[in-house]
Amino acid sequence: MARIQEVIESLPSLFRPEKAKGWNRVILFDLGGEEPSKWTLTIENGTAKVEEGQTKPPKLTILGNSEYVVQMFTGETPPMKLVNAKLLKMQGPMMDAIAFSGLWNIPKK
């Protein structure tokens, strides 16, 4: 299985800027499980940038085990399935959680 760092650092290449027109947000991954860690994702003016740790105050926080985030971005499990099963929680404005799920070119498995 891919490691969380590899997956998080691949986010700028998976990002679909055309889906994020006008949507600028700071998102924190606050992860437990196999690889406890924090990552800050900044989406601004059509670009996505990741930094290790919590570097800015987030609008949306994604909580859960690192392995589920890996599953989400490698296409093993659809994001909403993980959310419905309460394996991942998205804390923050509801519409940001809805928007977030549509921003990524996730491989289909």
Tell the smallest beta-carbon distance from residue 60 to other proteins (Å). Answer: 9
Q: Which residue in 27, 49, 3, 33 sits closest to 93, CA to CA?
A: 27
One symbol per residue from 8 to 47: x for binding other proteins (CB under 8 A), - otherwise; what is it? ----------xxxxxxx-----------------------
CA angle, residues 87, 51, 46, in degrees to nearest 5 = 90
Contact residues for 97 (Cβ-Cβ < 8 A; gap 6+)? 60, 83, 90
Tell the smallest beta-carbon distance from residue 82 to other proteins (Å). Answer: 9
| Interacting residues with other proteins (CB under 8 A) | 18-24, 59, 80, 83-86, 88-91, 93-99, 101-103
